[in-house]
Structure 1
Amino acid sequence: MNTFNEYNKSPQKPLASGFGKETTAQEALGKRDLSGKIAIVTGGYSGIGLETTRILAEAGATVIVPVRTPEKAAAALAGIPRVELELMDLMNPASIDDFAQRFLNSERKLDILLNSAGIMAVPHLRDARGFESHFATNHLGHFQLTARLWPALKASGNARVVSVSSRAHRISGVDFDDVNFEKREYNRQIAYGQSKSANALFAVTLDRIGQPHGVRAFSVHPGMIVTELWRHLTDDELRYLGALDEQDRRVTLDKNGVFKTVEQGAATSVWCAANTQLDGKGGVYCEDVDITIDIPVNPSDALDSSGIVSWASDPSIAERLWLLSEEMTGVKFEN
């Protein structure tokens, strides 16, 4: 367990941002004008990703949304200005490379990369390389995408990369001995938690290597929001989380304030992507529109309090994950 002095040295120090869990994405942006900025938002046509796209675009940014189903995405994004759709599938490495190369060929700088797409609690599936689907989609796909877009991020000189993690990182750190569940029995909640720890760790090392180039990285817990991401949860799991009402109907916002609206759920991502309060900062995990605190690993703590545990923030673990990710994807970041 870390000592008090070790916690004091952590970059995880709240800013007293003035925002909170009821802050909306529009409020979190502040009065920032994003005219001329280029953003890419994975998962940008559903749930909190859609709200993120809307806020960035209406503030003046051009937002590119990678999609697997163009018709569904076009319908969801109809009426939002300055949005471009491009084909990409995070489970398909060739698709990621093709998307990134098309963007690089446009010779545009990339100011914001928001890695928002993800899957949760799915059955035991593997990607085209044979890797477990949560780790492959939520982490490795975004690792490869960010690496391929690295020249455009560096060219911005003032770019931000935001990875949507989750308080579910507390369920599991990265099991470096069995990341693909080849030795242990598959557990979809542990698989999801492992991938969310990876999202947070990715931001730690990415910020370190990006800082000399003006690229800063953040990870976020958006809050508890009932969206399509939850579609694989059983009624028993939803009931445990308080996401079913007395008639066993799914809720979107409960009277006790546990769940957020989509507008509130996108707030921390937008804040990390564009608010000037974070100028000169990075490598931190944020929630409720502020930098959160380090907390001890305590399995009995479950998911009902703020903070990030060491297995998702430790720089040495982050470096180990980085090397594993390079090995698994065959992709490295250019100097």
Structure 2
Amino acid sequence: MNEQYRATPQMPLPSGFGPQTTAKEALGGRDLSGKTAIVTGGYSGIGLETTRVLAEAGATVIVPARTPEKARASVADIPRVELEELDLMEPASIDAFAQRFLASGRPLDILVNNAGIMAAPLVRDERGYESQFATNHLGHFQLTARLWPALKQSGDARVVSVSSAGIRFGGVDFDDPSFERQEYEKYRAYGQSKTANALFAVALDKRGQEHGVRAFSVHPGRIMTDLARFMSDDELRAMGMLDEQGRRVATTPAGYKTIEQGAATSVWCAANAQLDGKGGVYCLDADIAELMPEFDLQGVAQVLTGVLPHAIDPGLAERLWQLSEDMTGVTFRTS
């Protein structure tokens, strides 16, 4: 591990951007010609917009999907997109995808770990692991580990983990991450996985800096996407996404972002020159987020306008790294 690591302060730059910034604006005019990116879940929602902006800036973008044929229509009008097969719930699928990419001999300049599920009912993968933690964190942990040689080959790579304000629902339960000995709570499970996304960026950046690999985590903001597909009508109505007749609202509700705005922070972290030489931070509204005081989880209704300490704690990040290696059986050697 890099003992000379220089941590980037968890405080706004400020970048000059904000909640209304679009992904194209957040790119900062950077030319990505000759660069190679992978965007998981890059065929829908903010992932699709992330793919579009990176590709239109000149990058070749690989978009992995469980069923590439279903994703083909979504990316048909975007240049330099390659569709691949990947299921983040299946370790063998992750390894096969990574092996195919490494066999191409290409360096990997940008990895956006964007795919995820939210508030899902209790489902377990073939190892018995809870699906939100398995998909949102463990799958991306293994994917990043397998792609590490290509990230190092770049010499100037960025790894972006898409977290969320769900960190407010709680941290990682190191004793029972798969809800084997406690009652399952879908939002706590979601919060655990999103906290893990943020902690992963902290630990990865510490290991990657000396190899020219920097890592960031991102809160995109509130956006109306298919991520909410597991939520009930009552939950969607409470969030302002359905009207009283149960119909999807036609306009973006107050406090929500458009898809173009929601992808802005992912693109900013993936490519904007303002973050050159920086890493390991949680970002929001195309800037480094403000560090907020921890609050009791009974206060989950509180508006989260920054990042909470438990999501960027270096000690917890190291504990998660070890837990992730133990759970996946992947020894993630970065040296």
TM-score, length basis structure 2: 0.95
Give the distance between the partners of 2:155 and 2:100, measured in 1 at CA: 21
Matched, 1:324 2:323: yes
Which of the numbers 186, 191, 201 marks the counterpart of 2:184? 186
In the TM superposition, 1:152-167 aligns within 5 A as 152-167=150-165
| 1:297–1:309 Cα contact (<8 Å) kept | yes
Query: What's the offset of the Cα at 1:253?
Result: 4.6
Query: What's the offset of the Cα at 1:333?
Result: 2.1
Which of the numbers 161, 173, 177 marks the counterpart of 2:171? 173
Structure 1: runs of 5+ lacking an equivalent: 1-8
Query: What's the offset of the Cα at 1:249?
Result: 2.2
Which of the numbers 286, 289, 295 marks the counterpart of 1:289? 286
Which of the numbers 258, 261, 277 marks the counterpart of 1:261? 258
Query: What's the offset of the Cα at 1:279?
Result: 0.5
In the TM superposition, 1:205-284 aligns within 5 A as 205-251=203-249, 253-254=251-252, 256=254, 258-284=255-281
| 2:8–2:278 Cα contact (<8 Å) kept | no
Give the distance between the partners of 2:312 and 2:206, measured in 1 at CA: 13
| 1:42–1:115 Cα contact (<8 Å) kept | yes
Counterpart code for 1:313: I
| 1:49–1:116 Cα contact (<8 Å) kept | yes
Give the distance between the partners of 1:251 and 1:263, measured in 2 at CA: 18
Query: What's the offset of the Cα at 1:26?
Result: 0.5
| 1:167–1:303 Cα contact (<8 Å) kept | no
Q: Secondary structure at the match of 2:288?
A: coil
* CA deviations over 1:229-263 (Å, ceiling 9, x no partner): 1011111111222222344322365453x011100
Give the distance between the partners of 1:281 and 1:96, measured in 2 at CA: 28
Counterpart code for 1:112: I
Q: What residue number does 2:314 align with?
A: 315
| 2:199–2:311 Cα contact (<8 Å) kept | yes
Counterpart code for 1:317: L
Q: Identity over aligned residues, as a percent? A: 70
Give the distance between the partners of 1:247 and 1:303, measured in 2 at CA: 28
| 2:8–2:280 Cα contact (<8 Å) kept | no
Which of the numbers 113, 116, 119 marks the counterpart of 2:117? 119
Query: What's the offset of the Cα at 1:194?
Result: 0.5
Q: Secondary structure at the match of 1:39?
A: strand
Q: What residue number does 1:5 align with?
A: none
Matched, 1:74 2:72: yes
Q: What residue number does 1:302 align with?
A: 301
* CA deviations over 1:156-190 (Å, ceiling 9, x no partner): 00000000000011101001111000111001111
| 1:25–1:52 Cα contact (<8 Å) kept | yes
| 1:168–1:303 Cα contact (<8 Å) kept | no
* CA deviations over 1:189-241 (Å, ceiling 9, x no partner): 11111000000000000000000000000000001011111011111111222
| 1:10–1:294 Cα contact (<8 Å) kept | no
Give the distance between the partners of 2:322 and 2:35, measured in 1 at CA: 31
Give the distance between the partners of 2:216 and 2:331, measured in 1 at CA: 20
Matched, 1:65 2:63: yes
Distance 1:217 1:152, change over 3 A: same
Counterpart code for 1:305: L
Q: What residue number does 1:3 align with?
A: none
TM-score, length basis structure 1: 0.95
Give the distance between the partners of 2:113 and 2:249, measured in 1 at CA: 26
Which of the numbers 13, 21, 29 marks the counterpart of 1:15? 13
Distance 1:42 1:255, change over 3 A: closer
Counterpart code for 2:248: R
| 1:223–1:259 Cα contact (<8 Å) kept | yes
Give the distance between the partners of 1:33 and 1:244, measured in 2 at CA: 40
Q: Secondary structure at the match of 1:64?
A: strand
Q: Secondary structure at the match of 1:206?
A: helix
Structure 2: runs of 5+ lacking an equivalent: 1-6
Q: Secondary structure at the match of 1:226?
A: coil
Give the distance between the partners of 1:13 and 1:296, measured in 2 at CA: 13
Give the distance between the partners of 1:238 and 1:111, measured in 2 at CA: 37
